[in-house]
Amino acid sequence: MSGGAVERLMLQLEIDQLNAAYAAALDEKRFDDWPGFFIEEGRYTLQARENFDRGLPLALMALESRGMMKDRVYGVTQTIYHGPYYTRHVVGPAQLIAWNGDAVQAQAHYAVFRTRPGDASEVYNVGRYIDQIVRTADGLKFASRLCVYDSEMVLNSLIYPI
């Protein structure tokens, strides 16, 4: 294997580990950790596939900085009342789309399952992450995470990040 191929595999492993840590933080309800996966001016967008495919800008959620993400975390943990449930993120291997120095464009498919205590699990949200990732002094961070979800209907309301 050439040096470039080894470097590419190591980068993919790093991105897969980033996605695994991201999913674990959300599944373990460590929401205060969530903004830390992004650079300060990072973007988090949740958009229906229908709008994405048509090039329409409407998104269910569009956060334009780590500060906005922290506000969302405050809302999720302090002000929004809802019946309790658990989530479980299953994230496929990352596909590297483009790679230029410390900037990477990647995507990965995801499925999020929801389980209410005492009830059966259900598919909550399915789609793909389209990511712009940068290397920082603290490791890989998301400059942008676009969650393009396939479902036309979002069950009840979307409270936790995907």
**Token pair listed for 18:** 């980033």
CA 112 centroid distance within chain = 11
pLDDT band at 153 (very low <50, low <70, confident <90, very high): confident
Question: Is residue 156 pLDDT above 80, yes or no?
Answer: no
Rounded average pLDDT over 105-116: 96
Cα-based distances in Å from 123 to 51, 93, 114, 129, 140:
21, 20, 6, 17, 29
Residue 101 vs residues 64, 129, 135: alpha-carbon distances, Å? 24, 21, 9
| pLDDT value at 25 more than 90 | yes
pLDDT higher than threshold 80 for residue 81: no
pLDDT tops 80 at residue 112? yes
Q: Per-domain residue ranges for the chain? A: 3-149
Whether residue 123 contacts residue 48, with contact meaning beta carbons closer than 8 Å, is answered with no
Look over the chain and give the mean of its residue pLDDT values, rounded to a whole number.
93
| pLDDT tens by residue, 51-78 | 999 999 999 999 999 999 999 999 888 8
Class of domain 3-149: alpha beta
